[in-house]
Amino acid sequence: MLLDKITGPADLRRLDDASMSELATEIRERIVEVVNKNGGHLGSNLGAVELTLALHRVFDSPNDIILWDTGHQAYVHKLVTGRIQQFPSLRQPGGLSGYPSRAESPHDWIENSHASTVLSYAHGLAVAQELHGDPKRRIVAVIGDGSLTGGMAYEGLNNLGHSQSNVIVILNDNGRSYAPTVSRLGESLSRLRSNPTYRRQQARLERMLGEMPMVGGYLERGVEGAKAAIREILEPPAFFENLGVRYIGPFDGHDLPSLERALSNAAATEGPVVVHVMTQKGRGYGPAENDPIKNLHDLSELKDGSFTAAFSDAMLVEGARRPELVALTAAMPDSTGLLPFGQRFPGRLIDVGIAEQHAVTSAAGMAMGGLRPVFAVYSTFLTRAFDQVNLDVGLHRQPVVFVLDRAGITGDDGASHHGVLDMVLLTKVPDMTVFAPSSYGEVGQMLHDALDLCTGPAAIRFPKTMPPASTDGDVGSGPVGAAGS
């Protein structure tokens, strides 16, 4: 096995093209084997194999800084940065984290699993670099098209363009978050995907535009149509370039030699540059390639006999009773149990993208407009929208229901996924009622009560799994402090 001989990125640079392609196959096999056993993120990692290999051949990590947005797609990075032996312990107690981890490796700079932060870290590192860093060190930020729907990503892009910081942004575009990405920009990006010869066309169309006849100062109608088509082609590059960030691409994210050329060119660029890389989620593994819901983004599924399933059922009941009930998700329609609601009540499930802050304030607007919004979200992700919950919903006394899945300790999802702050924060919000079901059966009753009885905001929080029940005698009888002595 080639893979077992890779002790670090330098070993990758010694391999020829044929060996690299063999290595990519071995990596996919290893990831499928371990994730099928331990759970974790599958589709996202299978799609990022060649991209990760190219990054580690062109850049010199950890001196060059490679940052992964969200971090769920960093398994390949772990495998080629000296963690092959520990990989079977992925997400196990005492084993490798499911995300980058600063304690695990100097190649891991950031470790939070919340999306859309990477461009801000990159900007900060670039400022530090300029003021007192090694001028040769490069900063590379990898972000998915899904994570690019989050507000912080736009704030970061705007700032990078304005400051002209030396950051290489890799846009890993597979057209999906879990579900297809909610983004007009994403749609334009995917038109480029189906149009690889667009650069040639772009030049031709630009020439044509320059030669267009003007009739009484106005372009003719047919010409207007052509212009609209041209705009569609030019939109994504224009979007980045108007912000002051150079755009190159799109590149085939599974063609290693061409990716390496693209990355080398980007490395020689002054100022911020976006390298647009097209990848296929779940690449090389049939069940993931063919999963229509989320390309096996991860291996969690809606189980009967869970809080999520109870909530999913309760939404069908309440949705039928109340035509004004709408459901919101921040790019997680499947994991939050809202897909059945969306199928039963078309148009009443609103996916806002990975944009929790926007979701909360948008829910306030929906409530002001007479709807009863239910925002289903993991507890850990609501935390970033606390200001919106407090002011835009709470201060305005709007009847928004927050349904917080994964409240409390979440086990193998790791430190940044624990939902440990919602209770302390939500109980400070004006007019907020917090419900905490202790059985699946209570979920439906509490949703019903939150909608029927609460005139202001309400939250229903429940854990990922039922806590293990203790029986009489299980609870400690030894002297206090005995464990430490």
Ligand X SMILES: Cc1ncc(C[n+]2csc(CCOP(=O)(O)OP(=O)(O)O)c2C)c(N)n1
**Active site amino acids:** 281, 356, 384
- How far is CA 383 from its chain centroid? 16
195: helix, coil or strand?
A: coil
Choose which of 281, 283, 358, 406 interacts with ligand X (CB under 6 A). 281
Binding to ligand X (CB under 6 A): which residues in 402-461? none
User: Is there binding between residue 331 and ligand X (CB under 6 A)?
Assistant: yes
Minimum gap (Å) between residue 115 Cβ and ligand X: 4
With CB under 6 A as the contact rule, the residue among 56, 107, 114, 406 that binds ligand X is 114
- Residue 295's closest CA among 334, 269, 323? 334
Q: Does 311 bind ligand X (CB under 6 A)?
A: no
Q: Any contact of residue 174 with ligand X (CB under 6 A)?
A: yes
Residue 386 or 440 with smaller CB distance to ligand X: 386
Minimum Å gap between C-beta 164 and ligand X is 25
Asked if the bond preceding 180 is cis, omega within 30° of 0, the reply is no
User: Does the protein bind ligand X through residue 178 (CB under 6 A)?
Assistant: yes
- Please state, in angstroms and rounded to a whole number, the distance separating the CA atoms of residues 296 and 72: 13
Residue of 38, 61, 73, 105 interacting with ligand X (CB under 6 A): 73
Among 57, 72, 358, 372, binds ligand X (CB under 6 A): 72
Q: Check binding of 115 to ligand X (CB under 6 A).
A: yes
Segment 228 to 247, residues that bind ligand X, using CB under 6 A: none
111 binds ligand X per the rule CB under 6 A: no
Helices (H), 279-434: 286-289, 307-321, 339-344, 356-368, 379-382, 386-387, 422-426
Give the count of residues interacting with ligand X (CB under 6 A): 24
DSSP percent split of the chain into helix, strand, coil, nearest 5: 45, 15, 40
How far is the C-alpha of 266 from the C-alpha of 275, rounded, in Å? 7
Q: Of 74, 76, 171, 73, which is closest to residue 119 (Cα–Cα)? A: 171
Residue 254 binds to ligand X (criterion: CB under 6 A): no
Half-sphere exposure of 362 toward its Cβ, with a 13 Å CA cutoff? 16
Q: Which is nearer to ligand X, 64 or 298 (CB)?
A: 298
Q: Residue 56 or 114: which CB sits closer to ligand X? A: 114
Determine the interface stretch with ligand X among 161-169, 173-181, 338-346, 398-406 (rule: CB under 6 A).
Answer: 173-181
Based on the shown chain and the rule CB under 6 A, indicate whether residue 280 belongs to the binding site for ligand X.
no
Closest CB 23 distance from ligand X, rounded Å: 21
Residue number, 147 or 308, with CB nearest to ligand X: 147
Residue 98 as a binder of ligand X (CB under 6 A): the answer is no
> Which of 98, 144, 272, 419 forms a contact with ligand X (CB under 6 A)?
144
Options 332, 371, 404, 426; binder of ligand X; rule CB under 6 A = 332
- Beta strands, E only, 220-364: 246-252, 273-278, 325-329, 349-351
Q: Whose Cβ is closer to ligand X: residue 233's or residue 278's?
A: 278
Contact status: 330 vs ligand X (CB under 6 A): yes
User: How many Å from the N-terminal Cα to the C-terminal Cα in the chain?
Assistant: 49
Query: What are the DSSP calls for 24-58, one per residue?
Result: HHHHHHHHHHHHHHH--B-HHHHHTHHHHHHHHHH
CB atoms within 10 A of CB 184: 9
For residue 472, what are the CA distances in angstroms to 469, 475, 476, 477?
10, 7, 10, 11
x/- track of binding to ligand X for residues 345-364 (CB under 6 A) = ---------x-x--------
Binds ligand X (CB under 6 A): choice among 38, 52, 61, 70: 70
State how far the Cα of 363 lies from the Cα of 457, in Å rounded to an integer. 11
Which range in 321-329, 330-338, 364-372, 460-468 contacts ligand X by CB under 6 A?
A: 330-338
Q: How far apart are CA 198 and CA 210, in angstroms?
A: 18
Q: Evaluate whether 364 touches 456 at the Cβ level (below 8 Å).
A: no
304-310: long-range contacts at Cβ-Cβ below 8 A with a sequence spacing of 24 or more? 305/440, 306/440, 306/465, 307/405, 307/437, 307/440, 307/443, 307/462, 307/463, 307/464, 307/466, 308/335, 308/336, 308/337, 308/405, 309/337, 309/440, 310/437, 310/440, 310/441, 310/443, 310/444
Smaller CB separation from ligand X, 187 or 431: 187
Closer CB to ligand X, 385 or 447, in the complex? 385
Choose between 296 and 451: whose C-beta lies nearer to ligand X.
Answer: 296
Q: Is residue 374 a contact partner of residue 367, using CB atoms and an 8 Å limit? A: no
Judged by CB under 6 A, which of 176, 254, 372, 406 binds ligand X? 176
Piece of 144-152, 190-198, 253-261, 282-290 that binds ligand X (CB under 6 A): 144-152
113 binds ligand X (CB under 6 A): yes
Q: Which residues contact ligand X (rule: CB under 6 A)?
A: 44, 70, 72-73, 113-115, 144-147, 172, 174, 176-178, 281, 297, 330-332, 354, 356, 381
